[in-house]
Structure 1
Amino acid sequence: MNHNASLSAPPRRARRIVLLGLAILGAASALFVLRRPLMMSAPRCMAGRWHGCLDTFNGVVLMTLVTLPLAVLVAWALARRRRAAAGTSAWRMSLAEVGMVHGTVPFVWMTMMPGGGAGIVPARVSLVPLRDLVTMGPLGIGGNLLVLAALGFFAPMRFAALASVPRLLLLGAACSVLVETAQYVLQLDRVSSVDDVLVNAAGAALAGLASRRWWRTTAQAPSERLRPAPATAG
């Protein structure tokens, strides 16, 4: 019997319970602070109306929170399906896949919301680095850091090829360039700025550092690692 494993299990389980409790407490605190702006769009969102719900920041945030239990259910179903092959990493891989989508799509959706002059005002580009940071302000910088934060946090947990800070920076920059290019092509009355790309990429890398202890360190599938090596002749 492995006494070390049996002794380490309770502290590990207690740590997970504490982290889960802190996460729930943090989410509840955020909901309490944001309850008034979120409730402004709740009637339209619950009625399934497009205007006033999915075309507003408050509505998108509200629907993201409302669909969070569904996202957890999908992650659980994926983990249950692959548990036999992936072993203990099934839940981590499934959570990473769902987290990348659920945490990134709402922010990208908000960046693609058209302004009042969409389709009328000519597309604008700002290619001078650091010039727009002054006009962003703390709220703008914080929002841009969060746009690809979920992608940076969960991607290296799922894909070993992305488990490095330089690669996360490149991933964040590439995704941000796609978003900025779409804003320009679709003439959404938004400024396609190089500073947005820089801050988005920095947000992805910083979020990735926060999940570093859970990064995948090998690209080999768990089922392949468990497979016995073929016998050699002779």
Structure 2
Amino acid sequence: MNGTWALWGGVVLAAIAALPVAGVVAWWLARRRGWRVALCEVGMVVGTAPWLWMILTPKGSGRSLNVVPLRDLADQLTDGRVVEQFGGNLLVFAALGFLLPLRFAWFTRSYRVLLVGACASIVVETVQFALAIGRHSSIDDVLLNATGAYLAAQLSRHWWASRA
């Protein structure tokens, strides 16, 4: 975990430092769209951007690709960073998954959130591969990212019916 903080502590601190700006943006949007809409929109960005920053940060050069489902997941079970890998991948689009159904009624069908999570993850994995930023592009990341969005949507289900 210490290695994780050394690598990504700056991202965490930058995200925390950006919160006042996010608050001002939410206040400005709320004057035009209402608080619920403003907080959902800002929350989707603030909750997703740091993760995208981390997974699109170059780690050298080159590229690798795995399109065989569950191969990387099985390998990660024996890796000492299994919690970081699984947890991190589940959280990448969690804010998006949690807030999409609250902001847009169309996303109260859970499979739609799952599809958005999968499509967004495919875009990220494709960008990682295309830019050759030293990252491993994997179908397992897509599966975990989409699952994280879906599970987060389920956590917000209680508030779907009260959507304004």
After superposition, residues 44-63 of structure 1 pair within 5 angstroms as 56-63=7-14
Number of the residue aligned with 2:116:
171
Which runs of 5 or more residues in structure 1 are unaligned? 1-33, 41-55, 83-89, 223-234
Structure 2 Cα separation of the partners of residues 155 and 75 of structure 1: 16
CA deviations on 1:32-63 (whole Å, 9 max, x unpaired) are xx9xx4xx7xxxxxxxxxxxxxxx41111111
SS of aligned partner of 1:124: strand
| Residue 69 of structure 2: aligned partner | 129
Unpaired runs of 5+ in structure 2?
77-81
Q: What corresponds to 2:22 in structure 1?
A: 71
Tell whether 2:131 aligns with 1:186: yes
SS of 1:189's partner is strand
Bigger share in strand:
2
Question: What is the alpha-carbon root mean square deviation over aligned residues?
Answer: 1.9
Given candidates 132, 137, 141, the residue that maps to 2:86 is: 141
Amino acid at match of 1:128: V
Give the C-alpha shift of residue 216 in structure 1.
6.3
Q: Under a length normalisation based on structure 1, what TM-score does the superposition of the two structures give?
A: 0.62
Which residue of 96, 100, 112 maps to 2:44? 100
Query: Equivalences for 1:1-234 in 2 at 5 Å?
Result: 37=5, 56-82=7-33, 90-116=34-60, 118=61, 121=62, 123-136=63-76, 137-215=82-160
Worse-superposed segment, 132-141 or 146-155: 132-141
Query: Runs of at least 4 residues of structure 1 off by over 3 A?
Result: none
Count residues with an aligned counterpart.
Answer: 156
Higher radius of gyration, 1 or 2:
1
Q: Highest relative contact order (Cα 8 Å, sep 6+), 1 or 2?
A: 2
Cα distance between partner residues in 1 of 2:70 and 2:162: 35
Distance 2:154 2:114 in 1: 11
The DSSP-based 3-state class of the residue aligned with 1:128 is coil
